[in-house]
Structure 1
Amino acid sequence: MSPLEDMSWPGSATGDLNQKSSDHYDNALHDQKLDSWRVCFASDSTEQCIETDGYIRHEDFVCSQDNVYFHDVALLHLSEKVSNIQPVCLPYAEETLPSGDFCYWAGWAAAETGGINTNMKFQVPIPIMSSEACSQSGFWQNQLTASMVCAGFEAPEKLKSSCMSGAEGALICQSASNSAWEVQGITSFGPNNCFVERKPQVFTKVSAYREWVEDKMKKYSYEKNMA
C-alpha cells in the first residue's frame, strides 16, 4: 500500500467519462487531451477545481450490450498539483476485501432541488458483498470478473440506505493492518433504478490494476519529460 505521491493523478472510471460527454470523449481518445475537463475536490465548506491536460484509459475497456463495463479504469492528469487535500492510499496488488466489512461509498449523485437537476455530494457506509453472493440469480449472475468488487445489502429492506442510482465516486475502505484509508473501488456500474432492480453496486477493483496504474503513470511522466 502506498499513497499517491504525485498529487496530479486522480483515478476515474472510463464508463463515467463516456457517459458525461460522448462527443468530447471520442476526441479525447484520439489525442489523449482533456483540456475542457475539470476535476473538483470538495469538503463541507470549500471546493477546488483543476483543469486536466491528459487522459489514459485502459486499453481493454469494453462496454457490453447490458451496460456492464469491463476494465473500467482510467487516469486523468491534472494541469497542476492539488493542495490542501489529504490523499488516500492505493491498496497492494491483488489485495482482497473480507465479505461483510463496511466501507464508505463517497462521490456525487444526481438530485432534484426545486425542479432543477443538480449533483449532490454523498457518503454512505456500505458492506462488501462476496462474489458468490453478487453472482447469484437476480443479481449480476455471470457478468462479474475478478477485477470487480460488489458492495451492498442482500436484504431488500436494507437496500434503501445505500441506493444511489447513477452515482459516481469511489469505494474507500480502512486497512485492517495499519488503519490507513485505501481507495479499493471506483464506481463502475449498477442498476438503473436500485429501488426497483434491487441489485448491488459494482466497482472496479483497484488492487487488480495497481501495476497498470503505476506503469501508466511512469510512462506518461517519461514521455512528457522527453517531449
Structure 2
Amino acid sequence: MAAGEQPEHIRGSHFAKLGLQGDFENLNENNGPYWVLLGRHNLTLPEPLDQVIPVEKFIIHPEYNDSNVAKCYDIALLKLSHSAKLTPEVKPACLPPAGYTPPHGTKCYITGWGTTSTGGSVSDVLLEGLLPVVHYEHCSQPDWWGSTVKHCHICAGGYKVSGCIGDSGGPLNCPGENAEWEVHGVTSFVSACGCNTAKKPTVFTRMSYFIDWIKEVKTEQMGGLLVAGCVDMEESQILITGVDFRKWC
C-alpha cells in the first residue's frame, strides 16, 4: 500500500476483514498447491494462533482474460480443505447486496502487506489506508481512467494513498446500507505510472457486480454456501480473491 507512488503484480485474498494472506499470484492449476495463512499481522513473526489451511479447490471467473485484466472478471473463489476457526483475529466478512455501489466519497479502507511506495519494499505488518470512493462517472472521464474502467469496477482513493504491489486480491471495506462493514471491492490494478498517480485511483473488482455469480458457484460447485450478507460459522471455507494484478498507465 503506497502513500507516494508504484507498479505491477500483487497477491492476497480474503474472507476476513483482517489478517489473511494467501499466495495467489498468477492463480492457475499449474502453480499449485495453494494454501492460506490466517490470523497473521506481522508476516515475519510466527504467531501461536496462526492457521495454515490448504486450498481444496479454486474457480476463476470463466470470462477472466489474463491478457486484459481491465476487461473485468478479475475474481476467483477458493474453497479451503476445512473451515477456518473463527477468532478475534480471523473474522468473516459481509458482502453487499447485488448491484449496490457506495456513494461517491464514501470512506472505505484497503488493507494489505503491499509495497509502501513505487518500486519500494513490501510491508512486514498489515497496513490500512483510507480510500474514498470515486464514482464511475468521474473515474471513467478521459483524463482519469477513461474506458479502461468498466461498470464491473469500483474506484477508490487518490494520489495520496493507494493500493500497490502486494495488495492484490485484498479487500476494500466500506460501510454498508445498515452501517455494517462490507467488502465492496477486490484489489485489481493501479497505474503503471506509479501507485499514487494523480487521477488514477486504485481500481477494484466491484463485489456487488458478481453476487449472482458467487451465489451460482457456491450453490453448484462449492456446496451451497453463502450468497450476500455475512458469512456465518458454517461458511468459513470460501475465500474471494483476484486472479492477477497488472498496472495500466
TM-score using structure 2 length: 0.67
Where 1:110 maps in the other structure, the secondary structure is coil
Q: Which residue identity does 1:194 align to in structure 2?
A: C
Q: Bigger CA drift: 40-49 or 53-62?
A: 40-49
Q: Is the 8 A contact 2:187 2:204 kept in 1?
A: yes
User: 5+ residue gaps in structure 2?
Assistant: 1-13, 17-22, 225-249
Q: How many matched pairs?
A: 191
Q: Which residue identity does 1:52 align to in structure 2?
A: V
- Within the candidate set 60, 63, 67, 1:60 is matched to 63
User: 5+ residue gaps in structure 1?
Assistant: 1-8, 29-33, 154-158
Q: Which residue identity does 1:60 align to in structure 2?
A: E
Structure with bigger helix share is 1
Q: State how 1:2-151 maps to structure 2 within 5 Å.
A: 10=15, 17=24, 20-21=25-26, 25-27=28-30, 34=32, 36-42=33-39, 44=41, 46=47, 47-64=50-67, 68-83=70-85, 84=87, 85-110=90-115, 120-151=125-156
Q: Is the 8 A contact 1:111 1:119 kept in 2?
A: no
Q: Deviations over 1:15-34 (max 9, x none)?
A: x94xx247xx2526xxxxx4
Where 1:109 maps in the other structure, the secondary structure is coil
Write the distance in 2 (CA, Å) between the matches of 1:59 and 1:139: 29
Where 1:217 maps in the other structure, the secondary structure is helix
- Shift of residue 62 of structure 1? 1.6
Q: Is the 8 A contact 2:129 2:162 kept in 1?
A: no
Structure 2 vs 1, CA of residues 218 and 190 (structure 1 numbering), >3 Å: closer, same or farther?
A: same
Structure 2 vs 1, CA of residues 91 and 142 (structure 1 numbering), >3 Å: closer, same or farther?
A: same
TM-score using structure 1 length: 0.73
Write the distance in 2 (CA, Å) between the matches of 1:111 and 1:151: 17
Identify the residue that residue 202 of structure 2 maps to in structure 1: 201
Q: State how 1:117-196 maps to structure 2 within 5 Å.
A: 120-153=125-158, 159-160=159-160, 162-166=161-165, 167-168=167-168, 169-176=170-177, 178-192=178-192, 193-196=194-197
Write the distance in 1 (CA, Å) between the matches of 2:136 and 2:197: 22
Identity across the alignment (%): 29
Where 1:218 maps in the other structure, the secondary structure is helix
RCO higher in structure (CA 8 A, sep ≥6): 2
Identify the residue that residue 242 of structure 2 maps to in structure 1: none
Structure with bigger strand share is 1
